[in-house]
Structure 1
Amino acid sequence: MTTEQQLRELQRASDYVLRREGFKKIHAEISFVGPGEIRRLNRQYRKKDAITDVLSFREFDAHIPFPNDAVIGEIVLCRSYIRSQASEFGVAYAQELLRMTIHGTLHLLDYDHETKRDAAIMLPLQEKYIEHFL
């Protein structure tokens, strides 16, 4: 699958989550970066000097009305890190890429997993959305 095809499939998944969460006329931009760039972004915006799988950058507050066809934010994915993570978890790369896209989309909507309580809400929801595509 080409990068362009991958992006279309991931965009479809992100749009599905946004629609199911009640956001009809917004979308997220999705991009791929290498390990060096995601580490730089993680250090700059989260003060964590480490490579990571996905970062989400919101343009609008998820609790205010959005203009029609607005971009809620950007989901930045590191494919090489996600590929190694998929291998570590024993899942297909495409499935882990989908999981991280949905994960990033939920972060754009203010879901989080920093506390046990928040994780108990976000992570099952993430898996529910993934199941739709499997």
Structure 2
Amino acid sequence: MSIEVLNESGEVPGPVAEQELHDLARHVLDQLRVHPRAELAITLVDEEAMTALHERWMDLPGPTDVMSFPMDELRPGSDSETPEGVLGDVVLCPSVARTQARAAGHSVQDEILLLTTHGILHLLGFDHAEPAEEREMFDLQRTLLLTFLSQRGRTTTAAPDARTTP
């Protein structure tokens, strides 16, 4: 599995170690049985870059916390062969995540892990526009994040089913 983590946010070393984002992404993709040769990019950007993306692709003003850009429309696998391809890109804005974490009373690290999981689920076709979809996506998001953290011997202070901004 090819997972690339790029920190273009200007925050060094960044609020979350790139290796932890890589490990979380691998955990999510493994749990959802995405093809082992699938490709994923996770990029951390500053507010200016996120604002430009948010305005261009969503026609909404200002920065947001996470955006997902699917490529080959891969879906979670099954017991049969799953297709390989380019999953796409998850773009995160650490400064927006920091503000959200502060408002929610949890760590920036936990917020970014939550947003990464959320973004990957969007790449795999999950959405939360309808109540049933929201329940399914947020239940899965919670399970994936909590199992990842428990394997690392820690818990989260973030509500794993927390909403992200539009």
TM over 0.5: yes
Match of 1:110 in 2: 125
* Deviation string, structure 1 residues 26-76 (Cα, Å, up to 9, x no partner): 242111111111111011111212311000111111249533xx4311110
8 Å CA contact 1:15–1:27 kept in 2: the answer is no
8 Å CA contact 1:75–1:101 kept in 2: the answer is yes
Match of 1:38 in 2: 50
8 Å CA contact 1:30–1:77 kept in 2: the answer is yes
Figure out how many residues of one structure are paired with residues of the other and give that number: 132
Match of 2:83 in 1: 66
Kindly indicate whether residue 17 of structure 2 is the aligned counterpart of residue 6 of structure 1. Answer: yes
Cα distance change of structure 1 residues 53 and 82 upon mapping to structure 2, 3 Å threshold: same
Match of 1:55 in 2: 67
Normalising by structure 1, we get a TM-score of 0.89
Code of the aligned partner of 2:18:
L
Distance (Å, rounded) in 2 between the aligned partners of 1:29 and 1:46? 20
The alignment-based identity, stated in percent, is: 27
Structure number with the higher helix fraction is 1
8 Å CA contact 2:35–2:83 kept in 1: the answer is no
- Structure with max Cα Rg: 2
What SS is found at the alignment partner of 2:41? strand
Distance (Å, rounded) in 2 between the aligned partners of 1:11 and 1:43? 27
Distance (Å, rounded) in 1 between the aligned partners of 2:86 and 2:18? 16
What SS is found at the alignment partner of 2:17? helix
Distance (Å, rounded) in 1 between the aligned partners of 2:56 and 2:22? 26
- Kindly report the root-mean-square deviation, in angstroms, between the aligned alpha carbons of the 2 structures: 2.1
8 Å CA contact 1:53–1:78 kept in 2: the answer is yes
What SS is found at the alignment partner of 1:48? coil
What SS is found at the alignment partner of 1:91? coil
Distance (Å, rounded) in 2 between the aligned partners of 1:48 and 1:84? 19
Normalising by structure 2, we get a TM-score of 0.73
Off by >4 Å, runs of 4+ in structure 1 = none
8 Å CA contact 1:77–1:100 kept in 2: the answer is yes
Distance (Å, rounded) in 1 between the aligned partners of 2:134 and 2:40? 22
Residue ranges of structure 2 left out of the alignment (5+ in a row): 1-11, 150-154, 156-166
